[in-house]
Amino acid sequence: MTIKTIPTTPIDGQKPGTSGLRKKTQVFMQTPYLENFIQATIDAIGGGAGKRLVVGGDGRYFNRAAIQTILKMAAGNGVAEVIVGQGGILSTPAASNLIRENKTDGGFILSASHNPGGIDEDFGVKFNAANGGPAPEKLTARMYEATTTITEYRIAEAGDIDLGRIGETTLDDMRIRVVDPVESYQALMQRLFDFDAIRSLFAGGFTMCFDAMHAVTGPYATAILEGALGAPTGTVVNGTPLEDFGKGHPDPNPIWAKPLMDLMMGADAPDLGAASDGDGDRNMIVGRGAYVTPSDSLAILAANAHLAPAYAGGLAGIARSMPTSAAADRVAAKLGIAAYETPTGWKFFGNLLDAGKVTICGEESAGTGSDHVREKDGLWAVLLWLNILAARKQSVAEIVTRHWQEFGRDYYSRYDYEDVATDQATRLMDGLRDRLDGLAARRFADLTVAGADEFSYLDPVDGSFSEGQGLRIAFEGGGRAVFRLSGTGTQGATLRLYLEQYSGTDGRTDLDPQEALAPVREAAQEISDMSAIIGRTEPDVVT
Ligand code: VG1
Ligand code: CO
């Protein structure tokens, strides 16, 4: 077979510090955009010779074509073996699991997560390392460097590989194993949870609606919930992955999963509603008439994890990203275990998990997971909830209310301002950063600032230091506002404002969250001079 070495020039694109690349699909489709990023990544891991990799994606438009290119480039770079999901399908957590189980050198995951898919929407490629987790900062720095210095890429000249059939084939000297995307993930879930108890729950008439949002979790949820656990057919809706996710945003939150929210708030609501995102690593949990914020979900899962077989021995520690509410910290304190606060993004949890310092991690953006893989895992969170519901024999609403009674409630909401002009977003952040030191003890709207700083993180495992991870302002009385710019958007800048207000253990826990957060919101908007700088205070998305 001929291996071609094709001259190329650096691509613009990868943001320094991100584990992957997210762009408009048509940008990826223009040779050699994808090729450059794949070659740069292979170069950054020390070349492909003899390596073993996992490849799969969330099924969005261009998924299969991109996988064919990656396979040919892997062969062109001397890779020894690639494990691919049948039809090119692998959820992010399932890919993480395959990397770990097969002890490969890492893997490519094709997804732009919760961003819409289609020829006019978004595509993405991420690289996960040998521990199954997103490329750590040291590697992302090398990847970025390689995208700026690349001069050529290598690709085998060959026909397309049949990804439809499970089994082994070869491309030149490279072995390709097409595997069932669900099988080993399902086996892992069966080891973690009490499937018998959950099966009895469903057999006893417990009802559920799982909205796969036409994304990758459909086949996983159908096999596990309706297959192994005996939930009635129709429990999983929108269960077939579509290239354009049915033209929706596969983002499991009350805005984009509105049909599910409406169902759960209505008279015919089942006992549990759940949804997952494009690549299957996020989750939304909603009980009958009771939406559970991701920050609360993390805390409640941590407080009850011992009810599931895998966590019966207790947790080593809990980690949350900085903008996530402090609810999980209160649980860690009660359990007498360590609580870690990391920058946004799953890659920061990897070292803590690898070192055995934490068992459960989570983010406010609907990501929760544990040491079973090195990614957040949507279906895992749903199964842990089911295991807890089966053991406690209470409703979601009851479990949440009792949690607040014991720990107090962390009212929480995130405001997203999308497609802000980059210079305006930078001006707002820079201006606020410059004023942080002088904010303490000053009053804004009805609140007094207790302290303000820019978050940075010293990794306790490898000593790496990450700066510029968000501006945080604490208020007297238990309120907090955090400002940060998104690293995953593909158009202009997305400004995120995270709002939080703790009720205390004797405060009211039944307020409307937006009402409870109004003082913090007003103070945050005033402090940042938002309306003058970006011309609005109304966000595009409130979650
Ligand atoms: C967002 C979320 C963050 C999450 C990241 C990737 O990042 O806020 O918590 O880890 O998406 O999630 P940002 O930089 O846009 O705020 V996913 O489901 O793309 O893997
Ligand atoms: Co995702």
Q: Is the pLDDT of residue 137 over 90?
A: no
User: Of 296, 274, 162, 301, which is closest to residue 220 (Cα–Cα)?
Assistant: 274
Closest atom of ligand 1 to 282 CA is 18
* CATH code of the region 410-542: 3.30.310.50
Does ligand 1 lie within 6 Å of residue 486's CB atom?
A: yes
| CA–CA separation, 316 and 293 (whole Å) | 24
Atom 18 in ligand 1: which residue has the minimum CA distance?
113
Q: Would you tell me how many other CB atoms lie within 10 Å of the CB of residue 528?
A: 24
User: Would 185-407 and 410-542 be classified into the same CATH topology?
Assistant: no
| CA–CA separation, 275 and 113 (whole Å) | 14
pLDDT in tens, 451-481: 999 999 999 999 989 999 999 999 999 999 9
Does ligand 1 lie within 6 Å of residue 259's CB atom?
A: no
Ligand 2 center from residue 109 Cα (angstroms): 11
Q: Which amino acid is at 185?
A: Y
Q: Where are the chain's structural domains?
A: 2-181, 185-407, 410-542
Atom 10 in ligand 1: which residue has the minimum CA distance?
345
Q: pLDDT band at residue 347, thresholds of 50, 70 and 90? A: confident
Atom 8 in ligand 1: which residue has the minimum CA distance?
365
Does ligand 1 lie within 6 Å of residue 469's CB atom?
A: no
Residue 444, CA distances (Å) to 29, 178, 327, 529 in order: 49, 59, 25, 11
Which ranges constitute the DSSP H helices of 336-421? 347-354, 378-392, 396-407
| CA–CA separation, 169 and 430 (whole Å) | 54
Does ligand 1 lie within 6 Å of residue 320's CB atom?
A: no
297 is catalytic: no
Does ligand 1 lie within 6 Å of residue 93's CB atom?
A: no
Cis upstream peptide for 10 (omega within 30°): no
* CATH code of the region 185-407: 3.40.120.10
Q: Is the pLDDT of residue 1 over 80?
A: no
pLDDT in tens, 229-256: 999 999 999 999 999 999 999 999 998 9
Ligand 1 center from residue 488 Cα (angstroms): 6
pLDDT in tens, 3-31: 899 888 887 766 666 677 889 999 999 99
Mean pLDDT of 162-187: 97
Residue 360, CA distances (Å) to 171, 210, 304, 316 in order: 40, 23, 11, 8
Does ligand 1 lie within 6 Å of residue 488's CB atom?
A: yes
- Give the number of residues written for the chain: 543
Does ligand 1 lie within 6 Å of residue 253's CB atom?
A: no
**pLDDT number for residue 120:** 95
Pairing of strands 174-179, 167-171: antiparallel
Does ligand 1 lie within 6 Å of residue 309's CB atom?
A: no
Residue 467, CA distances (Å) to 426, 473, 486 in order: 16, 17, 15
Instruction: Provide CB contacts within 8 A for 56, sequence distance 6+.
Output: 67, 84, 85, 88, 89, 90, 94, 95, 98, 107, 109, 110, 181
| CA–CA separation, 309 and 189 (whole Å) | 11
User: Of 158, 146, 8, which is closest to residue 73 (Cα–Cα)?
Assistant: 158
Q: What is the per-residue DSSP string for 217-286? A: HHHHHIIIIIIIT-PPTTSEES-S--TTGGGS----STTTTHHHHHHHHSTT--SEEEEE-TTS-BEEEE
Atom 16 in ligand 1: which residue has the minimum CA distance?
486
**pLDDT number for residue 439:** 94
Give the residue, out of 344, 375, 543, with the most ligand 1 atoms within 8 A of its beta carbon, to mutate for a pocket test.
Answer: 344
Q: Is the pLDDT of residue 270 over 70?
A: yes
pLDDT in tens, 279-320: 999 999 999 999 999 999 999 999 999 999 999 999 999 999
Does ligand 1 lie within 6 Å of residue 113's CB atom?
A: yes
**pLDDT number for residue 13:** 63
| CA–CA separation, 125 and 19 (whole Å) | 9
Atom 11 in ligand 1: which residue has the minimum CA distance?
488
Atom 20 in ligand 1: which residue has the minimum CA distance?
113
In this structure, what token pair is assigned to residue 186?
């399902």
Beta-carbon neighbours within 5 Å of ion ligand 2: 113, 277, 279, 281-282
Q: pLDDT band at residue 208, thresholds of 50, 70 and 90? A: very high
Ligand 2 center from residue 437 Cα (angstroms): 35
Does ligand 1 lie within 6 Å of residue 122's CB atom?
A: no
List, edge to edge, every strand of the sheet that includes 20-24.
Answer: 20-24, 122-128, 107-110, 52-57, 81-89, 174-179, 167-171
CB-CB contact of 161 with 176 (8 Å): yes
pLDDT in tens, 88-98: 999 999 999 99
Atom 3 in ligand 1: which residue has the minimum CA distance?
345
**pLDDT number for residue 14:** 61
User: Of 464, 346, 355, 347, which is closest to residue 338 (Cα–Cα)?
Assistant: 355
**pLDDT number for residue 15:** 67
**Superfamily of segment(s) 2-181:** Alpha-D-Glucose-1,6-Bisphosphate, subunit A, domain 3 (3.40.120.10)
Atom 17 in ligand 1: which residue has the minimum CA distance?
113
List, edge to edge, every strand of the sheet that includes 541-542.
Answer: 443-444, 447-454, 471-475, 479-485, 493-502, 410-420, 541-542
Give the residue, out of 365, 379, 485, 497, with the most ligand 1 atoms within 8 A of its beta carbon, to mutate for a pocket test.
Answer: 365
CA dihedral 171, 175, 181, 187 (to 10 degrees): 170
Instruction: Provide CB contacts within 8 A for 436, sequence distance 6+.
Output: 452, 453, 454, 471, 473
Q: Is the pLDDT of residue 428 over 90?
A: yes
Q: pLDDT band at residue 53, thresholds of 50, 70 and 90? A: very high
Percent of the chain with pLDDT over 70: 99
Mean pLDDT of 435-460: 95
Considering the candidates 113, 295, 325, 370, report the single residue annotated as catalytic. 113
Ligand 1 center from residue 166 Cα (angstroms): 32
Atom 1 in ligand 1: which residue has the minimum CA distance?
488
pLDDT in tens, 379-398: 999 999 999 999 999 999 99
Ligand 2 center from residue 346 Cα (angstroms): 10
Ligand 1 center from residue 272 Cα (angstroms): 25
Closest atom of ligand 1 to 92 CA is 20
Closest atom of ligand 1 to 489 CA is 15
Mean per-residue pLDDT of the chain: 95
- Using alpha carbons only, what angle is made at residue 52 by residues 47 and 56, rounded to the nearest 5 degrees? 105
Report helix, strand or coil for 63: helix
Does ligand 1 lie within 6 Å of residue 496's CB atom?
A: yes
- Give the residues across from 395 on adjacent strands: none
**pLDDT number for residue 519:** 97
Mean pLDDT of 422-444: 95
Helix axes 63-76, 33-44, angle to 10 degrees: 50
In this structure, what token pair is assigned to residue 180?
């069932």
Ligand 1 center from residue 422 Cα (angstroms): 19
